[in-house]
Amino acid sequence: MISQFFVLSQRGDHIVFRDYRGEVPKGSAEIFFRKVKFWNDDEAEEAPPVFNVDGVNYIHVKVAGLFFVVTTMVNVSPSLLLELLQRIARVTKDYLGVLNEDSLRKNFIWCMNCSTKSFKAQSGYILTSEIDGTIQMKSYLTGNPEIRLALNEDLSIGRTGSSSYDYRSSSGGGAVILDDCNFHESVHLDSFDIDRTLTLIPPDGEFAVMNYRMTQEFKPPFRVTALIEEAGPSRVQNACLAISH
């Protein structure tokens, strides 16, 4: 969707420049600045926030004398990108304390990372992924029998050794890595270090044997894309599309 993002000074100097798709001809920043500086339109003294030059859409906002600009070759919602640019400028000012050319140059790496994450999120890319899971058990057994529950032998818990349970598989690493976990009070962990087996005498009814959390990368079962379009001066249409993998 977004081809480029750049920030220009009042003189047209590049402060931040990222080309995400490589489809816009070189010199787009110079073309934008000349067009804005020498805008010639009988109906407007200044360039509008959205305009097209040779098939390239330029969307920009001017904040504290700086031009925050995105380019795209496709038709997108201008209001969505304008709002995104305003948010980037606002977040940058909140983080740096002051928004000007000098502060951006001194924090160049942070600005590059911030813009990349913002546009990836807006484009539907996964920035972070996390699973909060639980193993539920429902038991109505009579006589209070002992139950043994076997988990993956290559299960590893605790990435850095700082979690409550820092058990490691015998191979030193596992295909299943949990950041942390906790167990029901009825669970005995005597043999968990050896063969990843849980021993318990279950109480009557339904209960959580184990709660766990993992933050490693994984493929989600579906992807959700939100579309926002202006349908009038005071009306906005929202559409949500869910695609299963």
Q: What is the pTM of this model?
A: 0.54
Q: Give the total residue count for the chain.
A: 245
234 part of a folded domain? no
- Give yes or no: residues 16 and 97 share one domain: yes
- Give yes or no: residues 91 and 144 share one domain: no
What is the reported pLDDT for 9?
93
| 16-44 confidence digits (pLDDT tens) | 998 888 889 889 999 999 999 888 765 66
23 part of a folded domain? yes
Confidence of residue 125 (pLDDT cuts 50, 70, 90): low
Distance between CA atoms of 9 and 16, rounded to whole angstroms?
10
111 part of a folded domain? yes
- Give yes or no: residues 17 and 108 share one domain: yes
Please classify residue 113 by burial: count the beta carbons closer than 10 Å to its beta carbon, then call 0-12 exposed, 13-18 middle and 19+ buried: exposed
| 192-218 confidence digits (pLDDT tens) | 888 889 999 999 899 999 998 887 666
Mean local confidence (pLDDT), 49-73: 93
Tell me the pLDDT of the chain averaged across its residues. 81
Looking up residue 43, the CATH number of its domain turns out to be: 3.30.450.60
Distance between CA atoms of 126 and 117, rounded to whole angstroms?
10
| H or E element, residue 158 | none
56 part of a folded domain? yes
Q: What's 148-173 look like in SS3?
A: EEECCCCEEECCCCCCCCCCCCCCCC
Confidence of residue 59 (pLDDT cuts 50, 70, 90): very high
